[in-house]
Chains A and B, each alone.
Chain A
Amino acid sequence: MHSATYRLNAVATMAFTGLLALCLAVSVTELAHKANPEASLKMHGVHHFKPLGGNDEAVLSFQMKGDLSSCFSWNTKQLFAYIKIVYETERHVRNEVTVWDKVMTSTEEARIEEAFLSKYALVDNGSDLRGRDVNLTLAWNVMPYIGALYFGEKVFAAKMPSEYMSDGRQG
């Protein structure tokens, strides 16, 4: 502490240590945050379901009524919500296909009550989707400003049509 530059150095070091401690403390508050996300999701329709080059391809739409706004805490930057179709076939034990996603940056955006078309096609690795029981999984990542990202999900059952079809609106 004998010179101004030494004191500047000391204050800077202490300030950064304090900053680190603050960041740690902020990320720990996330543990106390109780979220109560609600959602119901069902398959609204299948608009296109055809094999393409040996792989089944489907365009789906969903009916969703959900409120993920309680996932937001003071340390939440945004939610990344997505719908994945999870199923099992004889050839492949574990299949997960993401067909829709959304970045939610506010609590208003985290409330959804609408029917919408999938953003990405459901493409099977093979042609085993006809009549298949699938899980519609609504999953979300809670992305904080500081600290660890974490996941949540809700699973809903659905069934693919037993025959190939197209309603003429897609593909």
Chain B
Amino acid sequence: MDLKGQQLCEALATYLILFSAIVAFLFGIGTQSLRNLFCVYGAGVGLTCLVIIPNWPFYNRNPMKWLPRSLKKD
């Protein structure tokens, strides 16, 4: 995972968790059920894990450019 990818990954993780929590709360209130609330939140966290943890190709679109190796020995 490159540096841009890491930045994207962190932002995605934050917003996905936040989004899951908000959706779960609204769904829980809507159906008047704590069980539904925590099931939806758990599903959201599971989805977040799937998106965040594997090193998906879209995290590697900006490979780092290293300086060329110096051939001169000091």
Residues of A within 8 A of B (CB): 1-2, 4, 7-8, 10-11, 14-15, 17-19, 21-22, 25-26, 29, 74-75, 145-146
B-side interface mostly: helix
Q: Judge whether B13 and A4 touch: CB under 8 Å.
A: no
Q: Does B45 lie within 8 Å of A1, measured CB to CB?
A: no
Min CB–CB distance B62 → chain A (angstroms): 14
What would be 16 A-B contacts, judged by CB atoms less than 8 Å apart? A1-B5, A2-B1, A2-B6, A4-B54, A7-B52, A7-B53, A8-B49, A11-B49, A11-B53, A15-B45, A15-B48, A18-B41, A22-B38, A74-B29, A74-B34, A75-B34
B10–A10 touching, CB < 8 Å: yes
Given known A1-B9, A4-B53, A11-B53, contact A22–B24 (CB-CB < 8 A): yes
B1 and A19 form a contact (CB under 8 A): no
A74 to B31, CA, bound (A): 9
Q: Are A1 and B6 in contact (CB under 8 A)?
A: yes
> B residues within 8 A CB of A1?
1, 5-7, 9-10
* Interface residue count on the B side (C-beta < 8 Å): 29
User: Is the pair B10, A18 in contact by a Cβ cutoff of 8 Å?
Assistant: no
Q: Using A2-B1, A8-B49 as known contacts, say yes or no to A74 and B33 having CB atoms under 8 A apart.
A: yes
Q: Is the interface of A mostly helix, strand, loop or mixed?
A: helix
List chain A residues, Cβ under 8 A from B21. 18, 21-22
| Nearest CB in chain A to that of B54: its residue | A4
**Chain B neighbourhood of A7, CB < 8 A:** 9, 13, 52-53
Asked, given contacts A18-B41, A21-B21, A22-B41, whether A10 binds B13 with beta carbons under 8 Å apart, the answer is: yes
Residues of B within 8 A of A10 (CB): 10, 13, 52
A21–B9 Cα distance when bound, in Å, is 22
Take A1-B9, A11-B45 as given contacts and tell me if A22 and B37 are in contact as well, using a CB distance cutoff of 8 Å. Answer: yes
Known: A15-B48, A74-B34; 20 extra A-B contacts, CB below 8 A, are A1-B1, A1-B7, A4-B53, A4-B54, A7-B53, A10-B10, A10-B13, A11-B17, A11-B52, A14-B13, A14-B17, A18-B17, A18-B21, A19-B41, A22-B24, A22-B41, A26-B34, A26-B37, A74-B29, A146-B34
